[in-house]
Amino acid sequence: MNICIATDLFPPEGGGSELSAYFLAKGLAKRGHNLLVVMPHFGQKTVYKEHKWFKIIRFRYLRAPNVDFLRNVVQNELLYIYMAQMLKKIVKTYEIELIHAQNMLTVPPSVIAAKKTNIPVIAHIRDYWPICFRRSFIRPNGSVCDSCNSKNLINCIRLEGQFSSFFMPASIPYISANMGLKQLLLNRADHVIAISDAVRTMLLARRSIVMKHFSRLTPQKISVVPNIMPIPSKRLTESELLGMRRYYKLDEKDMLVLYVGQLTYDKGVHILIKALELLLLKNTSLKLIILGKGPLASHLEKIKGRFGDQLRYFGFLPYIKVLQFYQMADIVVVPSIWPEALGRVNLEAMALRKPVIATKVGGIPEIITHEKDGILIEPGDPKEIEHALYRLINDPDLRSRIGLEGRKTVEKRYNEGIVCDQILSIYKKLTRFRQ
């Protein structure tokens, strides 16, 4: 089958969502399908690249100017029109049989192109973009948002800083119209894939609120297919791990707690730091390692001096380096406040047999069974993190058992074969229906 993967970013750019798209494309290609990855090349010329498993076309597109509204229109509505035209040409040139759109910016143009060329289109939903302006149900200050009404939308726009005060009055109707357009086009997709039951449930729950846009978004039209989490093939040896600790000036006996993710309030990193303050009263050999970037990075740089070398911040690192830090760590914490669509960090840590402490939000409880392959805690409570960490720090057998069970969970439920079989089953139903 000739399949087009439409995305706005692709590794080495992007984060967890882009990695998931890459592993999916690779898995499908290994099964003998022809994969073509199509994405915009912002501000640069068109590039055609041959990858080992698939082809990549990065078509030339405008770099958005830093001007209110014009920036948003270039990144959204204009991109929909231009990318739809590019996809129509690509469908005909490469005899594409199905378009699989991976994210918020590429679902609208993919649907437009697919309807014009009469081929099926699938929308992959990896967060809450169809029903939340910020895609997270969390306000920029970290509080939970109950609905996308005008008052909440104004607060989000103001705190997010996307529009200046001068343009604020006009931003509400623009964003409402933009969300309505995306919802209408998502509604016309032939099938929707949600990465967790949490995402599917939220889409269906909000369906009644935006019924005029989601009239075709029935339960039968949304399938739940999790992301692929391959087991890393290269494991560091004991001597390599020891050398890595020495390189980063970490003692061999230090208990290393790892956080990987964006430095934002919704990810709960500030709650983890509060838990660190409580733990340092009990365990002086503990060191918290933070990897990532985001708005709280500058705050982290300011406060890390208070903790001496027990809080280490290494910024944003390439994925291969992140995998090495997972292997060096003793415990991984995922303190998210927002309802994580799935929580890829959990899977990455579990694949490497690391015990995970994670909050009971969104799709995380679909991955972790409490006390079996991870520890689940309530969100937003530093004392819960502190208690869970203290347990694992002082019980090496528990750490080992949870780490081993986590690896089994990933191998059983998130391997390439199982996920690709589910995706291909959906592909075949759609193409058979068209024929």
Tens-digit pLDDT string for the chain (435 aa): 999 999 999 998 888 899 999 999 999 999 999 999 999 998 888 888 888 899 999 999 988 888 777 888 888 999 999 999 999 999 999 999 999 999 999 999 999 999 999 999 999 999 988 888 777 777 766 667 767 777 777 777 666 666 666 566 677 788 888 888 998 999 999 999 999 999 999 888 877 665 566 777 889 999 999 999 999 888 899 999 999 999 999 988 899 999 999 998 889 999 999 999 998 877 667 999 999 999 899 889 888 888 888 999 999 999 999 999 999 999 999 999 989 999 999 999 999 999 999 999 999 999 999 999 999 999 999 999 999 999 999 999 999 999 999 999 999 999 999 999 999 999 999 998 654
| 222: phi then psi, degrees, rounded to nearest 5 | -115, 120
Q: What is the DSSP string of 374-423?
A: BEEE-TT-HHHHHHHHHHHHT-HHHHHHHHHHHHHHHHHHS-HHHHHHHH
Rounded CA separation 375/42 (Å)? 42
Q: Are the C-beta atoms of 21 and 7 separated by less than 8 Å? A: yes
Q: Are 414 and 347 in contact (CB under 8 A)?
A: yes
**The pair of three-digit structure tokens given for residue 290, joined into one six-digit string:** 């933070």
Do 217 and 189 contact (CB within 8 A), yes or no? no
User: Which tokens sit at 227?
Assistant: 């992301």
